[in-house]
Amino acid sequence: MRAVVFTSYGAADVLHPEEVAAPDAGPGQVRIRVRAAGVNPFDWKLRSGMMAGGAAAPEEPVVPGLEASGVVDQVGDGVTGVAAGDEVFGLGSATYAEQAVLRAWAPKPANLSWEQAAGLGVAGETAVRALGLLGLRQGQTLLVHGAAGGVGQTAVQLAVAEGLRVIGTASERNHDLLRGLGAEPVAYGDGLPERVAALAPDGVAGVFDTAGTQLDDLIAVTRSPDRVVTIANYGAAEHGARFTGGGGDAAAALARVGELAASGRLGVRVSGTYDLAAAPAAHAHSESRTADGKIVLTVS
């Protein structure tokens, strides 16, 4: 099958198309014919060598990708409730390819395009997991830091659907976007606690940080570091805040976001669409940190 791989660490141009062996679905997995694959910051951090521990190159060619949408063409042992021909989205590995194996999946909402569905898995699972750790109740106030990114937008919509009041940080150019999702926007940067206090004088019940910046300000907003959950600040625990990088019930999270998307209460904004062979350009777009939604590779 055709896939995008890298055999050395470096800039986006180390990505290139190559013919590789198709994977097989193992126990508890499904294989799909990929229609679209999401691009995430983890992908280019891996490709750059940021996570290589000083190694000059991977031991074997690496196919990036954590999420995709497509049509099931193989079902692993022990899997029930899904069959060849079903349209799904989900989480897996090596998804920059014509075929990929998913470890967790849900039915593709009919009202989402393949590109939108491909971008729902990582953001959806992450947002559900983080909001679950905060455990806020209907009517409480949540601050989403970095609310205009892919995970942030999904978290805003999930929180609104759960009856929370949402304040979201973003650059001025994205404030209308956040208002459209049901959040009250504020600018990040110096003076953030004061701006949040002007909107919520009684404070906020929890903070979900997707940006990894201004941790001290976010703690000041909640007045309690354990009310801050971050996916982007690896030193958070040293300050009493909570870092989460996985461990949730992915299948349940995907089912939840899929249901919300199918009902029209959760949308996926696609910021850029690229052909599979244009993966270097997609990575460059992601690394620019200018995307106001998901970046997606399409497979024809």
CB-based contact 3:94 (threshold 8 Å): yes
Query: Averaged over 69-94, what is the pLDDT?
Result: 98
d(CA 226, CA 229): 7
| pLDDT, average across residues 61-65 | 98
Nearest-10 crossing angle of helices 41-48, 279-287: 100
pLDDT at residue 184 greater than cutoff 90: yes
pLDDT, tens only, 139-176: 999 999 999 999 999 999 999 999 999 999 999 999 99
Res 210 pLDDT > 90? yes
Over range 180-192, report the average pLDDT.
Answer: 97
Identify the CA nearest to 95 among candidates 62, 73, 127, 126.
Answer: 62
Taking all residues of the chain, what is their mean pLDDT, rounded to a whole number? 97
Asked if residue 96 has pLDDT above 90, the reply is: yes
Q: List all residues 6 or more positions away from 28 whose beta carbon is below 8 Å from its beta carbon.
A: 76, 77, 78, 79, 103
Per the CB < 8 A criterion, the answer to whether 258 and 109 are in contact is: yes
Please give the share of the chain, as a percent, with pLDDT higher than 90: 97
How many CB atoms neighbour CB 212 within 10 A?
Answer: 16
Q: For residue 56, what pLDDT is reported?
A: 87
pLDDT tens-place string over residues 128-143: 999 999 999 999 999 9
Residue 14 has pLDDT above 90, yes or no: yes
- Residue 289: the pLDDT is 87
Retrieve residue 170's tokens.
């973003």
